[in-house]
Amino acid sequence: MRTITRALAGIGACLAAFHFELLVPARAQEADWQKVDETLGRKPMVSDDVRRYGFPRSDLSVTLDGVTIKPALALGGWVAFKPGHGGAMVMGDLVLLETEINPVMAKMIASGLEITAVHNHLLRASPATFYMHVAGHGDPVKLASAIHDALAESKTPLTVAAPAGPPPAVDLDTAKLDQIIGVKGQANGGVYQFNVKRRDPITQEGMALTPVGAMGVATGINFQPTGAGKAAITGDFVLTGDEVNPVILALRTHGIEVTALHSHMLDEQPRIFFMHFWANDDAIKLAEGLRAALDKTASTKG
């Protein structure tokens, strides 16, 4: 009887180990991130467990109200990978010309990726640019290949050019801007950028979308110097429904144009709306207007 009991225990242990092997490898196995880098043709910015790849439209010369827009101001496409659900979640925002939308979308759909939004961010820009938000989950290398093949249907640069020289200086009182906005900004390609977090967590498919900046769910504010202390500003506020109209009123009261209001995702919790804006005026004055709008939201300071 002891022999039979030991044998049954051994079989049970084997079955348990087999069941464990079925469940664990997809989670425990390390993704081949080097292969993802090679497929996308660039290195990511890594924040905690998120790898964010930039696809700036450096091939475009876009002007708006006499301002030549730097890629970091409003032409910075990106995709971000976050491990989860036995593989990775991917989210992104691709910058496209009107003629590129349908070819890129067709490739995305054929690869099983989701299109979660297509819309403008700016008004009066020449040429007009549109923004395609995408999502998916699965094997990171397969996701990267699908994104690469879709972007190949556009003229988005798929190789990273060597820097032509040092980045242009940000000729603004950035310390004063930091003080007014309430968080520390960062220079990027001649543009001074802020990411302002919300106090409440945002989730999708049961996963917390963190870090919020890397995953595109922090309020983004960009300043591009236009001379004599002035700046062109754009970006997007991340808002709950009850915050939308108070923020519209605050922005318009301070001479800041609201250029778009829409969703970026399909099933996030809580429901979030994204409000884009534009102005070109004294940078300190605009920062004060943006701060007034931020005060209408559940945003953090510091």
**pLDDT per residue as tens digits for the range 105-151:** 999 999 999 999 999 999 999 999 999 999 999 999 999 999 999 99
Residue 31's pLDDT band (boundaries 50, 70, 90)?
A: confident
The residues pairing with 277 across neighbouring beta strands, listed in sequence order, are 235, 258
List the structure tokens of 173: 């009182």
Percent of the chain scoring above 70 in pLDDT: 90
How much is the CA Rg of the chain, to the nearest whole Å?
A: 22
Evaluate whether 132 touches 101 at the Cβ level (below 8 Å): yes
CA distances from 45 to 50, 54, 59, 112 (A): 8, 8, 21, 25
Q: pTM for the whole thing?
A: 0.88
C-alpha 176/C-alpha 167 separation (Å) is 21
| 23 compared with 81, residue with greater pLDDT | 81
Q: How much is the pLDDT for 5?
A: 45
The single residue listed with the structure tokens 């919020």 is 212
Neighbours of 12 (CB within 10 A): 10
User: What is the DSSP annotation of 122-176?
Assistant: -SS-BS-EEEEEEEEEE-HHHHHHHHHHHHTTTT---SPPPPSSSPPP--S-HHH
Whether 85 shows a pLDDT value over 80: the answer reads no
Evaluate whether 172 touches 223 at the Cβ level (below 8 Å): yes
In this predicted model, what pLDDT tens digit does every residue of 203-220 receive, in sequence order?
998 889 999 999 999 999
Q: How much is the pLDDT for 164?
A: 75
So what CATH class is 29-151?
alpha beta
Domain layout of the chain by residue ranges:
29-151, 174-294
List the structure tokens of 129: 């640019």
Q: How much is the pLDDT for 83?
A: 94
CA distances from 270 to 54, 66, 204, 209 (A): 27, 38, 9, 12
Residue 196's pLDDT band (boundaries 50, 70, 90)?
A: very high
Q: How much is the pLDDT for 21?
A: 33
DSSP secondary structure letter of residue 46? E
State the Cα torsion 181-184-188-191 to the nearest 10°. 20
- Chain-wide mean pLDDT for the chain? 91
Q: Reduce the secondary structure of 216-260 to three states and give it as a string.
A: CCCEEEEEEEEECCEEEEEEEEEECHHHHHHHHHHHHHCCCEEEE
Q: How much is the pLDDT for 9?
A: 46
Q: How much is the pLDDT for 302?
A: 66
Closest CA to 45 of 74, 80, 71, 75: 80
List the structure tokens of 257: 């144009």
Q: How much is the pLDDT for 23?
A: 33
List the structure tokens of 157: 């640069």
Whether 86 shows a pLDDT value over 80: the answer reads yes
DSSP secondary structure letter of residue 98? G
